[in-house]
Each structure stands twice: as structure tokens, then as C-alpha cells.
Amino acid sequence: MNSFLKTFLAALLAIVVSGVMMVIFTVNVISGLSLFFGSGTPTVIEHGSILSIDLNQPIVDEPSGSLMSDLDVTSMTVNRKMALLDVINAIDQAALDDRIDGIYLNVSPFTPQGTATISEIRSALERFKTSGKFIYSYADYYSQKTYYLSSVADRIYLNPQGELIWKGLSSQVMFYKGLLDKLELKPEIFRHGSFKAAVEPFLMDRMSPENRLQTEVLTGTIWGQLLAEIAASRSIDSASLQAYASQLAVTNAGAARNLGMVDSLAYRGDVNDLLCEMTGQEEEPKFVTLEEYAMQSNAGVNHASENQIAVVYAEGEIVDGGAAKESVGGDDLAEKLARMRQDDDVKAVVLRINSPGGSALAAEVIWHEMERLRAEKPVIVSMGDVAASGGYYMAAPADVILASPTTITGSIGVFGMLLNAGEGLKNKLGITVDVVKTNPSADLGSPFRAVSQTERDYIQQGVEEVYATFVDHVAQGRNLSVQQVDSLAGGRVWSGVSALQNGLIDAYGGLREAILLAADRAGVAGDYRVTTPSVPEDRLSMLVNMLMSRVKTPTFEGQLGEAFQQYGRLQRILSRQGVQAIMPCEIEIE
């Protein structure tokens, strides 16, 4: 009897506890979703308000296609990501809004935005200044990227004990050859172009002369562009800015002020007092956040026009078939472009590309649909932070290509890679593999053996054919000869500055300029609305995917830190199949 009672009470307790836990979970879910879906009370914007911009959250190219995609189920919080076009439109609207007296750049120490994205926002701030309204900037710590943004301000303030980092740009590459040698893993590489350096980490322990040259030119031109823009805004010549970086002259806040890189040293409260004086407030400035203002400025947009300028986004690595999370699916994007071609209300299309490339076959699928679209409607490409290799492949047919001076582009080249782990498994782990096959190369692609010379020639021929097709597409799209394109290709990466000089892009400009140009080309300037085509999503699948993916990624990322990025990059490279068109290097501006 006692045993029965113990078992019964234990079972009852388990039921009660699980029930309580389920109730708590359900309440959290409901409260989270109510916050997520609820509209809340709109922010009242009064006269004398200041638009506050910090950019501490990611700004994405493509607006959120679903409310569910912004919900973090692990914390039951809403992580709204602003779209770049919303940010730019909000700043432009603020210039015309008599309730907004000025902008306060309350910049965070680090911003996740890419340099070209920052450049587009900076251009919007420059337009704002023509309204006669003020822009003030404050930070406890300026990174080079946030200083580049803030240099457009009328006055720049820095905490007296703060820092301004000024040391130049660098690009680092991690090499895996030593590790592969220790494990007796042998990569089999097939590529066209000595500048196609994406596979170098598996072959060498340092940069090749060609890769070093292209990286030096790339970082040099981007750094030169930043110096030129900062010099113009701060009335400091570029040579002096270069010398300050080389000499590490900005040793502290006082040095930053003495060298003219900031205007004054002050604490945040002091700047708030100054802003109160500027706007006639007594105690606290009337701040309105960029997110709050963008929501209201978007609400007032006229959506009545039947003429549509469709903005299609290609953000992430290019993969075959459908799109996975943060990637560009060749079939998915081609299907979107086809729908835009068939829609009579769509008068022109802007393809916004922010991609380092990926599958050459998927890029070809997108290229073909771009060709069909251009035959019927104006097509403008807007390049974001990066539009290289496969990203440039799909851009080539456009009527006009716009990019930022700091956009990373080009990388017209392809490669393929196999990894032979046979000897390593045998010698390190005692694992051997045997095979039965009907033909000598029936197991071509097996990771347990080396390729024969016949197989090597076969694969290399495929790489050469893809490269020749790539070059021919670019030559046709850019009205250049094959020889001219080949001289710019070979996998070489270019900045937007160099791309304008060598004809790979047509002009500087961001997403805003691309939309204006598309409307003009379509003959609907002044009478159009911007639309974003989307694919209907399975809400249940989205929720399951969030539950599965948004737990492990933050966990590993938090434990590995910067190594997580290298891990992700290595994982993607090793998992790729077929001929690839992807850029070889990355530049981080701190």
C-alpha cells in the first residue's frame, strides 16, 4: 500500500509540476506574441523633437517578410531588424518634418553594419544637412566605422576618458594547410584564375603574391575613400589623416580633440543639456528613436499608385534550389524575377545584391531569368556591401549597375574542391574504405581517394567551361570584349572605386538612387510605389525552425567568439558541391 501511495503521489506531483510548467510556458508565449503582434501606443512626435540614431542593431537589406521572423522564441522577445530603405526614408522625411529640429548620432561602440551600408546612411545624413538642421554626434568610444559615419556631423563630442580608434584597415586570412598536413588530409583543387584565392587556405600557409596584391589594392582604395570623405567633412587633409593612423597619433581623447578629429570633450549629460538649449527644452531633450520615427513615416506613405517599382533582394550565399536561412536560392530568386516579369503593374525592377557568391549553377539560373526580365522591363542592380563572384554573375545583365565606392565586387572566377581523407583515416584512426564499381570513375568525388589525371582533366574542363561562360556573360552585359573582361577577371576582387574605373559598374549610388533611376527608366517618375515581392511562408514550419536553430547558434557563437565565424566559413566551404563562384577575402573595418 505504501509503495502504491508513493508511486501515486509521485505521478500526481509530476502531473502537477508539468501542468504548472506548461501554464508558465503558455503564458510566456501568449504574452510574447501579444507584444509581438500588438501595435502598442504610437509615439507622439512633438515640435522640438530630435531624431536619435544609434545603429546598434543590424540593418538588413530586405524588409521582414513575416512578423514571426522577428520573434526570438528562446527569450520570447521581439528583435526587430530595420530595413535599409526604411532608415534612409526616415532620415529624408525628417529633413522635411518641421517637428524634427535635428539629428543626434548617439553611436554605439560597435555597429554590425557593413561599410557600404554605413556609406548609404551617411549619404542620407549629408542630404539632411542641406535642410539647415543640425547633426550632433556623441560617443564614449568611436570605432573607425562609427567615426566615418559621425564625421558628417556638425559637431562631434567624445567622452573625456573615451577613445577614438584610428589605425587603418587590415584583412586577415586563416590558413588550414598545416592542420590538413597533420591530419594527412589532401585537398584536390580545381580553379581558373590566379586571383581566385578562396581555396588558398587549404593549399598554402600564407597569401600568394596575387592574393596579396589584390588585397592590398582593395584595402588601399577603400581606406583612401574613407579618408577622402572624412577629410572633406572635417576639413582635415587626407595626408594628415593617413599620418595620424600610421603614427598611432590618436592616443587618447585629448589627442583626438587637439588633432581636430572631434570638436569637444564632454559627457553624455553635458551634450543632453546642449541639445535642450538647441531645441528650447528645460530638462530633457525630446528624443524620438529611428525605429519609432520610421514606423510613423512609413505609415504616411501613399500606396495608391498602380505603377510598381519592385525591389527584389538577393542577400547571402547563393545555393542551388530553394533558399535556406540567410542564403539566396537560385530557383527561388529566378521564380521571383519571373513573377515580376509577368506582372503588368511592375514597371521596373531593382535587384539589390548583398552576396559573396556561391553555386555557379544557381547563379546561371538567376542570370538567365535576369536576361528575360531585361528584355521586357528596365532592370537596375544596386550593390550593397558585397556583390562578388556569383553575386556579380547575376548582376551582369542589368541595364545599370550602381554601387558604393566601398562595395566589394568583381571576383570573376570559379573553382571546385574535393578533400581526400583516405590516408588520414587509415594512418590516424585505422579506418580503411574499399569499393566495388562498374567503371573506373564511378566513385568520382569520393572523399576516400585521390583523383586520377583523367578525372582531374575532366573536372578542370568543367571549371574552364563555367569560367568561359561567366566571362562571356559579363562581356555581353557590360558591352566589353571577352579579352577586356578576362583582363579584369581571373578571380580578382575590386572595390567600388576600382570597379567604376574599369567599367564593372556604371556609377556610384545606393538603393535609393537605384529606385529613382528605375522609375525614371520606366517613365513613371513621381507616380509609383515601391513593392517587395515575397514567397508565402508556412508559419508552423517557421516556428519549428526557429525553435531548432535559434538555440544552438547563439550558444556556439557565445562560446567560440570570433572563432565561430571561422568555423562557419570553413563549414560552408567544405560543404559546397559543384563548381563555385565565391569571393576569396573579407575586409573588416573596426
* pLDDT tens string 147-164: 999 999 999 999 999 999
* pLDDT tens string 114-149: 999 999 999 999 999 999 999 999 999 999 999 999
472/224 Cα distance (integer angstroms)? 32
Output the nine-digit C-alpha cell for 371: 536576361
Candidate ranges 55-69, 339-353, 405-419, 547-561; pick with highest mean pLDDT: 339-353
Q: How confident is the model at residue 562 (pLDDT cuts 50, 70, 90)?
A: low
Residue 10: inside a domain: no
Output the nine-digit C-alpha cell for 187: 585537398
Question: Is residue 312 within 8 Å of residue 349, measured between CB atoms?
Answer: yes
Same-domain check for residues 273 and 365? no
Residue 204 has pLDDT above 70, yes or no: yes
In angstroms, the Cα distances linking 306 to 1, 298, 301, 332, 342 are 79, 18, 14, 25, 15
392/502 Cα distance (integer angstroms)? 14
Lowest mean pLDDT among 19-33, 308-322, 473-487, 495-509: 19-33
DSSP string, 223-235: HHHHHHHHHHHHT
253/264 Cα distance (integer angstroms)? 9
Same-domain check for residues 529 and 426? yes
Same-domain check for residues 289 and 383? no
Question: Is residue 59 within 8 Å of residue 90, measured between CB atoms?
Answer: no
3-state secondary structure of 193: coil
- Average pLDDT of the segment spanning 454-467: 93
Question: Is residue 177 within 8 Å of residue 202, measured between CB atoms?
Answer: yes
Residue 33: inside a domain: no
Output the nine-digit C-alpha cell for 188: 584536390
Half-sphere exposure of 149 (CA within 13 A, CB side): 32
Same-domain check for residues 258 and 109? yes
3-state secondary structure of 85: helix
Same-domain check for residues 402 and 259? no
Domain containing 105 — which CATH number? 3.90.226.10
Q: How confident is the model at residue 575 (pLDDT cuts 50, 70, 90)?
A: low
Query: pLDDT > 90: what percent of the chain?
Result: 67
Residue 556: inside a domain: no
Residue type, 207: M
Residue 28 has pLDDT above 70, yes or no: no
Residue 294: inside a domain: yes
The bridge status of strand 134-142 relative to strand 155-164 is: parallel
- Mean pLDDT, the chain, integer: 85
Question: Is residue 347 within 8 Å of residue 528, measured between CB atoms?
Answer: yes
Query: pLDDT > 70: what percent of the chain?
Result: 79
Query: Annotated catalytic residue: which of 196, 286, 347, 377?
Result: 196
**Comparing 159 with 583, which gets the higher pLDDT?**
159
Same-domain check for residues 405 and 329? yes
Candidate ranges 64-68, 377-381, 559-563, 578-582; pick with highest mean pLDDT: 377-381
Q: What is the pLDDT of residue 271?
A: 96
Report field, pTM of the whole predicted structure over 0.75: yes
**Domains: count for the chain:** 2
Residue 541 has pLDDT above 90, yes or no: no
Query: Annotated catalytic residue: which of 52, 389, 495, 498?
Result: 389
Angle between helices 453-478 and 360-374 (to 10 degrees): 20
Same-domain check for residues 288 and 321? no
Instruction: Pick the closest to residue 333 from 306, 356, 363 (CA basis).
Output: 363
Mark whether 170 is an active-site residue: no
Q: What is the pLDDT of residue 66?
A: 53
Q: How confident is the model at residue 578 (pLDDT cuts 50, 70, 90)?
A: low
Q: What is the pLDDT of residue 520?
A: 97
Q: What is the pLDDT of residue 572?
A: 53
Same-domain check for residues 271 and 378? no
Same-domain check for residues 325 and 450? yes
Mark whether 389 is an active-site residue: yes
The number of beta carbons lying within 10 Å of the beta carbon of residue 524 is 18
Range of the domain at 508: 308-538
Q: What is the pLDDT of residue 589?
A: 57
In angstroms, the Cα distances linking 370 to 142, 363, 386, 412 are 42, 10, 19, 18
Same-domain check for residues 289 and 314? no
Residue 105: inside a domain: yes
Q: What is the pLDDT of residue 107?
A: 87
Residue 416: inside a domain: yes
The number of beta carbons lying within 10 Å of the beta carbon of residue 213 is 14
Residue 241 has pLDDT above 80, yes or no: yes
583/586 Cα distance (integer angstroms)? 8
499/402 Cα distance (integer angstroms)? 10
Same-domain check for residues 473 and 376? yes
Q: What is the pLDDT of residue 568?
A: 53
What is the C-alpha radius of gyration for the chain, rounded to an integer number of angstroms?
27
